[in-house]
Structure 1
Amino acid sequence: MPLADLLTAERIVMLTEPGDRDRVLDAAARLLTDASPAMTAAIGAALRERESLGSTAIGHGVAIPHARSNAFSTARGAFLRLEHPIDFGARDHAPVDLVFAMSVPEHSSQQYLEILSELAERFSSDGFRDALRDAPDLDALRSRLFGKPLPTMTVRP
């Protein structure tokens, strides 16, 4: 599933305020629910519950918090780039600054696994992570996240 099917531009943000894992999960829940208070609480609780089973940090400063919920009929994603990396309990002990959160309907087990696999593969690329971290503004971040080609630089001797 292409990231564009999970995300909207409004659910991609650059967080500049320091925080902790719970604060990031709360921000992700607000983005996933388009700030609906009742749904935000439910999705936030589901993300925390999943996180309590084991860290969703996959290493190299990336976390993919996820939960199953029937709040939506389709999978949804939100992306947060953190200016102040946080401890997410990663096995490599690297603080997390790239967070892709998602909510997938309860009945979508296969889709859930496919999305997680695609995200893990995409975020395993040093170049992809570096491009996201080096994006100078939100427009560039969104473009790079959606995989649009980056301008090439001509190196002159």
Structure 2
Amino acid sequence: MDLSQLLSPQAVKVVSDVTSKKRLLQCIADLAEGLIGLKSSEIFDALQERESLGPTGVGHGVALPHARLTDLTEVKGAFLKLERSIDFDSADRQPVDLVFALFAPSDTGVDHLKALALVSRTLRDDALCAKLRANSDPATLHTLLTEAQASQAA
């Protein structure tokens, strides 16, 4: 599994108008609706339900919200770069500006965990995160993410 399988170029967005965690989750759900073909409200509810179990802000300005969805057939992702950081209840109490959301079929097990591990490993790279923060072009962000992961595998 690699990021180019999880993340299409259309799944990368720069967001300037998000001011809260709830609004961010809605923005993710709206973006994902067009990518995975499920209703935004269903996606939002699944993201909210997962967040109620514990925040998915992993630290260093990164969040990995994720949800399992009944009518999904494969793991898919979306990446959002926020122009203004927001509070995401992260463990390190740092605001979040890089968000990689994952959506998995409800009956998948190991693929969902592998995808989470892959994204987490990729976004632990401080140099990559600095490059992501320095760019605002969605195509460039997609390239940085997919090439970074490919170079880590080499």
Common fold: TM-score over 0.5: yes
| Structure 1: stretches of 5+ with no match in the other structure | 150-157
Are the counterparts in 2 of residues 132 and 141 from structure 1 also a CA contact under 8 Å? yes
Matches of 1:101 and 1:45, distance apart in 2 = 14
- Secondary structure at the residue paired with 2:129? helix
Q: Work out which of the two has the higher radius of gyration on C-alpha atoms and give 1 or 2.
A: 1
- Percent identity between matched residues is 36
Change (3 A) 1:70 1:131: same
Letter of the 2:22 counterpart: D
Cα separation, 2, equivalents of 1:79 and 1:105: 19
TM-score if structure 1 supplies the norm length?
Answer: 0.88
Q: What secondary structure, in the 3-state scheme, does the structure 1 residue paired with 2:17 have?
A: coil
Show the counterpart of 1:127.
127
Match of 1:71 in 2: 71
Deviation at 1:35, TM superposition (A): 7.2
Count residues in correspondence: 149
CA distance in 1, matches of 2:37, 2:3: 25
CA RMSD of aligned residues (A): 1.9
Question: Aligned letter for 1:94?
Answer: Q
TM-score by length of 2: 0.90
Structure 2 unaligned runs (5+)? 150-154
Q: Provide the C-alpha distance between the structure 2 equivalents of 1:36 and 1:23, rounded to a whole number of angstroms.
A: 20
Matched position secondary structure for 2:70: coil
Structure number with the bigger relative contact order (C-alpha 8 A, sep ≥ 6) is 2
Structure having the larger proportion of residues in helix: 2
Deviation at 1:119, TM superposition (A): 1.1
**2:24 counterpart residue number:** 24
Alpha-carbon distance in 2 for matches of 1:38, 1:10: 16
Q: CA deviation at 1:71?
A: 2.5
The 1:136–1:34 alpha-carbon spacing in structure 2 relative to 1, beyond 3 Å, is closer
Change (3 A) 1:14 1:136: closer
